[in-house]
Structure 1
């Protein structure tokens, strides 16, 4: 099935996205610099772009930059005067992302900050509120990142959390995989949080079987 999922993604991208030199260069540079190929797919990137535009986002927060592929999609959704802050643990990844953003002509809209995301988020109180938050970092900390997204958001802020199905592993209550344990903790947190309206969607495609959380701050 994986090959067919990839073929359908390729068909959708060919029909609805078209060629994009900046994004293709970004993925090529990421590979050349040794970054893991765990970026969102092209179709998922376009979804993030559209959701951010639909939310009317002027201030975007991203947790987990990697090489800046999703960052480029989100920054493109910003209006004139909009800005994006993205947090990345690894200095090398941040350097690669900076180069990719320069190639894409988006450095003026994006502020890359290097270090543990929990520390970066704790220091951002004076920069709130953000209109749109995309979380794609260490899964063990997802519930904390969502709590921080609520704190740094406002009523109406959109929150997206990637990789929450994990090929069905999310339903394995006996798993000792810390990413699955963290994801299950996220769902527990979402189910009990009166500040959020949330759902999760399973996806299949170029990145396999996974899914994302879509939430809105009340």
Structure 2
């Protein structure tokens, strides 16, 4: 037994990844291409253990309507789409045609292009194009950190009762308790915003760089 979550040295992390799901050549290819093509930006990709989590979580929730803010090269969107019902639709918001061109190729390779809609442009504006009524089963936020509060404000009213918002990077590699940048400061404020929001019940889990799971009441 342990009183707190374990840290993960490299060898233990490799074990977690290897035992989280069966080997997946498509995901391995996407991770490798992202690292090769965008070495400076590759850290924006979700951790490999999050990929399996997103697919299983989506499947357990019975998601048919999902939203992603921050697509990058597509690992998180691919993972969510894999867990959706056959008639599901994932709407992705991003500002980069360059990054998402990689994502589009992998969606096609996975046979999931018909389940994913990509909208390019500032997400805070583009989210307002979605129907205003509660209809979203699952949302995943993993974009510019200073935009999180605006994305949250647009998404929470659009979540159906029981719908879930997942928010990535909420621990900022541990800097959340000693902020070192404007992005860190923004995350501190955002985490307090979520905690005080009575429209949701939430937990913050130390998965990868911290993942908030918030369920719409």
| TM-score, normalised by the number of residues in structure 1 | 0.89
Deviation of 1:137 (Å): 0.3
2:110 matched to which residue of 1? 104
If asked which structure has higher relative contact order (CA below 8 Å, sep 6+), I would say 1
Q: How does 1:54-69 map to 2 (within 5 A)?
A: 54-69=60-75
Q: 1:7-63 CA deviation, whole Å, 9 max, x = no partner?
A: 222212223322212112212332343262121122111111122122111111111
**Does the residue aligned with 2:210 lie in a helix, a strand or coil?**
strand
**Does the residue aligned with 2:213 lie in a helix, a strand or coil?**
strand
2:148 matched to which residue of 1? 142
Q: Paired residue for 1:27, among 24, 31, 35? A: 31
**Does the residue aligned with 1:45 lie in a helix, a strand or coil?**
helix
Please state if 1:90 is matched with 2:133.
no
Deviation of 1:178 (Å): 1.5
2:213 matched to which residue of 1? 214
| TM-score, normalised by the number of residues in structure 2 | 0.89
| Inter-partner Cα distance in structure 1 for 2:24 and 2:14 | 14
> Which shows bigger deviation, 154-163 or 21-30?
21-30
Report the RMSD for the aligned CA atoms in angstroms.
Answer: 1.9
> Which shows bigger deviation, 143-152 or 30-39?
30-39
| Inter-partner Cα distance in structure 1 for 2:65 and 2:12 | 33
| Inter-partner Cα distance in structure 1 for 2:28 and 2:166 | 24
Mark the CA change 1:95 to 1:189 in structure 2 (over 3 Å): closer, same or farther.
Answer: same
Matched positions, count: 209
Q: Paired residue for 2:196, among 170, 175, 192? A: 192
Equivalent pair of 1:33/1:96 in contact (CA under 8 Å)? no
Deviation of 1:203 (Å): 3.5
| Inter-partner Cα distance in structure 2 for 1:176 and 1:28 | 30
Please state if 1:6 is matched with 2:18.
no
Structure 2 stretches of 5 or more lacking a match?
1-6
